[in-house]
Amino acid sequence: MRFDPALVKWLATGLFVSVLSVSTTYAVHYGKGPKSASTNAPGESSCQAEKCHAQNALNSGGGELAVTGIPEIYEPGKRYTLSITLLQKGQKRWGFQMTVLNEDSLPAGEFLLLEPKLTQLKTEAAADGSVRQYVEHTLEGSHMGRKDGPISWAVAWQAPTKPEGRVTFYTAANAANFNKKPWGDFIYTTLDTSEAPALAR
């Protein structure tokens, strides 16, 4: 069977444009911030589970994701400064997303920006109808080209005005290789808890 050379060229060009379009869309969308509800919190998944960055298993790259500043026992209404730190040898682009929920998987407290050029706030309706707040990186906050890390983002969390029991901070982060494609990246997740004063007695 012989194929018309013009048809072959047209098909090849169309395929190339389609692949280029997907890669460009991926690079722009996730560079500016991850898809909401990707922290691995209850009712959510991670970018690794959703096949956005699925080549490597979750938490498998030998790097590290750490969140510091979360109080062991939170004081109602008090504001705390948190630091999210990510490192991974060989990677060159970075991102994260965090949400905090109480024991009923409802939002607890409120995030406030300390680095508005590097971080941003978003809201998303969860499956149970509640509206969750997320803090995550911006395009500038993805630190394009910075190799190996550690990369850190600072955010503020204001505790609930009344005790809500134990609250859990769900964080997911992407140590990317900066090839503008969804493979070769490492997704890390962590969860950290803070107890209400009544639970500490």
What CATH number corresponds to the domain at position 139?
Answer: 2.60.40.4060
* Owner of token pair 């209400």: 196
Minimum mean pLDDT range among 54-58, 185-189, 191-195: 54-58
Residue type, 130: S
Closest CA to 96 of 155, 166, 145, 163: 155
What's the rounded mean pLDDT across residues 87-103?
A: 96
Q: Which residues pair with 113 in a beta bridge?
A: 155
Whether 119 is in a domain gets the answer yes
Give me the pLDDT at residue 56, please: 83
Whether 161 is in a domain gets the answer yes
Whether 187 is in a domain gets the answer yes
pLDDT beyond 50 at 48: no
Name the domain count of the chain: 1
Closest CA to 47 of 32, 61, 35: 35
Whether 6 is in a domain gets the answer no
Q: What is the pTM of this model?
A: 0.80
| Cis bond upstream, residue 107 (ω within 30) | no
Whether 164 is in a domain gets the answer yes
189, 172 Cβ separation under 8 angstroms: yes
Whether 132 is in a domain gets the answer yes
Structural domain that includes position 77? 32-200
Whether 136 is in a domain gets the answer yes
pLDDT digits (tens, 9 = 90+) for 121-166: 999 887 777 899 999 999 999 999 999 999 999 999 999 999 999 9
